[in-house]
Amino acid sequence: MLSVLSLILLYMVYYGDVFDRWPVSEISSAEKPRNDKYFVYSCRKGVSCGGWGDRQKGVVAVYLMANATNSKFRIQLVKPCDFTRALRPKSFNWRFNKDEVLNRPSTYQVFRNEYGRILREKFTTANFTRYFSKDVTHLMINSEFSHYIRQNKLYSHNLAWLKDLSMAEIFATIWRDIMVLSPELQKRYKQFVETKVSGKKLVCAQIRVGQNRGNSDFLKDNPRMSAGQSLMVWDLFRKYTDPAKYKLFLTTDDEGVRSDAKRLFPGMLIESDGPLGHVDLGPETDKTCDAFKKVILDQHILSTCDVLITSFSGIGRHAAYVRGKETDLYCLEEGKDLSPCNFSSTLFQPSDW
């Protein structure tokens, strides 16, 4: 008689799951049978995906869905141009290759803004692969999901690694693990460090003003802060004007702020090359592609700063997360004094992002 016991054993061998309870089992998650589903972060041409910070949130959200469900993770980010011109896979190949999933049932869904916020509430308890049951799920998301997905008890085993990490550490862990600058940006970064930073301490500010008439790309952005707030940044910069010790680095969406800094700190201020542009609101042209590469390079530079001032922006926030330390970190917010802050401060707390 084929005993019930052997059936159970067969089941266990086939599905693997039960091995986890065997103390001597050395089957690592990499060797476990993975399911053959795909979760793909997709930002397609002509679709509004949000700016670079929004897209990073989407990438991390979809990464966690794949990670929780043992699915494959891919990125297809082609607006305004293929983003692998700026960033490349590091620990595994996440490039989306349509031949890999040819003829497989698939779905493409957009969860922008409040739709993402509804989904993330659901995903504190939902079964992700039941919710997205097709073999291949393409998602455009622009909200912060890690804080929600980590609460989902169905995936406590796969997501055990999140348990002791803060939201900042989750972002930084994933980003450092999967992303590396493309050869072109690595070269530009190296040049920047050698010829511009040249061994000095780097004091940086990321000043996002938002909607502004000086650059048509940003006309449709929301107003984020009055440019006058930058006066407080110049006051802080003035503490670091010894040219033997420091360099000042600025990244901003506002040409006026930029020219003020150039006028006030000649010889001290360094910048990366490339045009200013909004990666989502600008036209899908070569110039916007160059602006996209510059944003990614600038964010990478920000993540290496000795002193970092950041404003209301996913780009600055994520740079601060990857930078890691909370020392010499300052928050610049509308209507508030520029002050030292940390990842518990309002600028770093989830509300509608």
Ligand X SMILES: *[C@@H]1O[C@H](CO)[C@@H](O)[C@H](O)[C@H]1NC(C)=O
Residues at the site binding ligand X, with contacts judged by CB under 6 A: 29, 67, 70, 127, 129-130, 154, 158, 161, 173-174, 177, 341-342, 344-345
Nearer to ligand X by Cβ, of 179 and 297: the residue is 179
Minimum distance, C-beta of residue 342 to ligand X, in the bound complex (Å)? 4
Nearer to ligand X by Cβ, of 66 and 295: the residue is 66
Q: What are phi and psi of 142, to 5 degrees?
A: -135, 30
What is the maximum alpha-carbon separation in the chain? 89
Q: Give the residue from 306, 294, 291, 275 showing the smallest Cα distance to 197.
A: 306
Nearer to ligand X by Cβ, of 56 and 212: the residue is 56
CA–CA distance, 121 with 162 (Å, rounded to integer): 18
On whether the CB atoms of residues 339 and 156 are closer than 8 A, the answer is no
Nearer to ligand X by Cβ, of 92 and 199: the residue is 92
Alpha helices in the chain (DSSP H): 4-15, 52-68, 114-122, 128-131, 146-149, 167-178, 183-191, 230-237, 255-264, 286-302, 314-323
On whether the CB atoms of residues 255 and 214 are closer than 8 A, the answer is yes
CA–CA distance, 84 with 293 (Å, rounded to integer): 10
Nearer to ligand X by Cβ, of 32 and 196: the residue is 32
Minimum distance, C-beta of residue 132 to ligand X, in the bound complex (Å)? 11
Minimum distance, C-beta of residue 174 to ligand X, in the bound complex (Å)? 6
Minimum distance, C-beta of residue 202 to ligand X, in the bound complex (Å)? 22
Minimum distance, C-beta of residue 298 to ligand X, in the bound complex (Å)? 25
Nearer to ligand X by Cβ, of 21 and 130: the residue is 130
Please, which residues have CB within 8 angstroms of residue 288's CB and are 6 or more apart in sequence? Answer: 80, 81, 217, 277, 278, 279, 282
CA–CA distance, 248 with 266 (Å, rounded to integer): 10
Minimum distance, C-beta of residue 181 to ligand X, in the bound complex (Å)? 19
Minimum distance, C-beta of residue 68 to ligand X, in the bound complex (Å)? 8
Minimum distance, C-beta of residue 89 to ligand X, in the bound complex (Å)? 13
- E strands present in 211-276: 246-252, 269-270
Nearer to ligand X by Cβ, of 69 and 313: the residue is 69
CA–CA distance, 100 with 290 (Å, rounded to integer): 30
Nearer to ligand X by Cβ, of 249 and 348: the residue is 348
CA–CA distance, 86 with 297 (Å, rounded to integer): 8
